[in-house]
Amino acid sequence: MSELLVAILRIAYLVLLWVFILFIGSTVRTDIFGRRVATRGGSSPAAAAGGSTPKRHRKRSRNQPAPGQLHILSGSRAGQIIPLADRILVGRGGDSNLPIDDDYASTHHAEFAQGVDGAWFVEDLRSTNGTYVNGQRIEELTRLTIGDEVRIGRTTMAVEAAGRR
C-alpha cells in the first residue's frame, strides 16, 4: 500500500473514532440531564399563576369541583392520598415535596402548581422519561381535571376531588 493511502486510512479511522466518542458523550449527557424540550414563552406553573394559559387546557364545568388531591394508584407509594397544596415537586430528589423511589423518575421530574383561578397544572421538568397525562406525554404546562391520570415512571396518580376516598 502506498504511504498516501495509509495516511488517509489513519485519518479516516481517527475521524470515525471521534464521531463515536462524541455520540457516546451526547448519549450520556441526555441520560443524565434529559432532553431539551423547547417551551413556548417559557411556560411554568408560575406563569400559569400569572394568567397565561396553555393551548391544551380544558374548561372545568361550573358544577364540577376543583381537584383537591392525588391518589397514588401504583408505585412505591401506592394507596397514599396526597392533598394538593401550594406547590408539589415530584421526583427522586431529597428536596421533593413528593419523593418517589422509582428508577424511571428524575431527581426533579414534574411539578404540580395551582393557577390563579384555582385550576391545577402539571409540568414536566425536562425529565428523561417524561410525564404522561391520560397516556399522552406532555411537553408543556397541562391543566388537570378530576379523573385525569398522571404517570411519572412507574408511579401512577389519579386526580380527585378533595376528601374523596
- The pLDDT assigned to 47 comes to 47
CA angle 126, 152, 135 (to 5 degrees): 100
107-133 pLDDT per residue, tens: 999 999 988 888 899 999 989 899 999
Q: Do 122 and 112 form a contact (C-beta atoms < 8 A)?
A: yes
2-57 pLDDT per residue, tens: 999 999 999 999 999 999 999 999 888 877 776 665 544 444 444 444 444 444 44
90-111 pLDDT per residue, tens: 999 888 888 998 888 999 999 9
Is the residue at 151 inside a domain?
A: yes
Count of domains for the chain: 1
Residue 100 maps to which CATH number?
A: 2.60.200.20
Is the residue at 101 inside a domain?
A: yes
Is the residue at 49 inside a domain?
A: no
Cell of 124: 414536566
Residue with cell 443524565: 32
Q: Once rounded to an integer, what is the mean pLDDT over residues 71-89? A: 89
User: What range does the domain containing 117 cover?
Assistant: 67-161
- The pLDDT assigned to 52 comes to 43
Is the residue at 14 inside a domain?
A: no
Cα 26 from Cα 30, distance rounded (Å): 6
